[in-house]
Amino acid sequence: MKRQIPLIIIMTLGFMFVAHSFIPHKISADFFDWFQDWVKAISPFAVSLGVISLFMVNGTKISRKVPNWQYSVITLAGLVFTALAGFIWGTQSGTPYMWLFENVQMPMSATMFALLAFYIASAAYKAFRARSAQATVLLLAAIIVMLGQVPLGAMISKWIPETSKWILNVPNLAAKRAIMIGVGLGMTATSLKILLGIERTYLGGGD
C-alpha cells in the first residue's frame, strides 16, 4: 500500500499531463492552474530536505568525532548564522545577510570552478594525449576551435575561424544532433517508465 498509492497518484497525474499537452481547452488550462497552485504550496518544504540532510551528515560527524569534525561545526554554524541573519535583519541589500552573500558565498563559489582552469592546463600538459587516431582528430579539432575563438587565430590565417565555424556547423552539428536524438529517446523512456510504474527508484527504499 505504501508504494501502490503513490504509484497510482503519479500514473494518474502523469497521464493527465500527457493529455494536457495535447488539449488546449479551458478545462485543461484550469487543471494546470490547480496543479500550479498546489505545487507552489508544496515546493517551499523541499528546502527542508537539504537542511535536514546537511544537519544529519554533519551532526553525525560531530557526534562521532570523525577526523576533521571541527569543519562540520563551521558548516552548521555558517548555515545557522546566515539563516538567522536573514530572518533578523531582513534580506534587503545592505543587510548582514546580503553582505554574507556578496562577500562570502559569491567569491567562494566563483572561485571553486576557477580552479578548473589550472587543472585543465596541467591535464593539457600531462594527459591530453593523441593516443589513437581518433584522439588525434579530436585534439586537432579542439586546437582549431580554440584558435578560432580568439583574435589571434584570425591573425594567423583567416581560414582558422572559418574552419572552426565549419567544424561547429557541420560535423559537430551532425554529431550532437544524433547524440541528442539518442539522449532524448533515453530520457523520454525514463519518463515513460515512471509513468507506467515500471521505474520506481525515485520512491526510495523500503516497502
Q: Residue 63 or 91: which CB sits closer to another protein?
A: 91
In the bound complex, what is the minimum distance in angstroms from residue 103's beta carbon to another protein?
4
Least distance CB 172 / another protein (angstroms)? 4
Half-sphere exposure for 61 (CA within 13 Å, toward CB): 16
**Closest approach of another protein to the CB of residue 85, in Å:** 7
Q: What are phi and psi of 138, to 5 degrees?
A: -60, -50
Nearer to another protein, 40 or 64 (CB): 40
Q: Do 164 and 148 meet the contact criterion of CB atoms below 8 Å apart?
A: yes
The least distance separating another protein from the CB of residue 176, rounded to whole angstroms, comes to: 5
Helix (H) or strand (E) holding 41: helix 26-42
Shortest Cβ 15–another protein spacing (Å) = 6
Q: Which three cell numbers stand for residue 22?
A: 495535447
Helix ranges, the chain (H): 4-20, 26-42, 46-64, 69-89, 96-100, 106-126, 133-149, 151-156, 159-169, 171-195
Assess contact for 144 and 163: CB atoms under 8 A.
Answer: yes
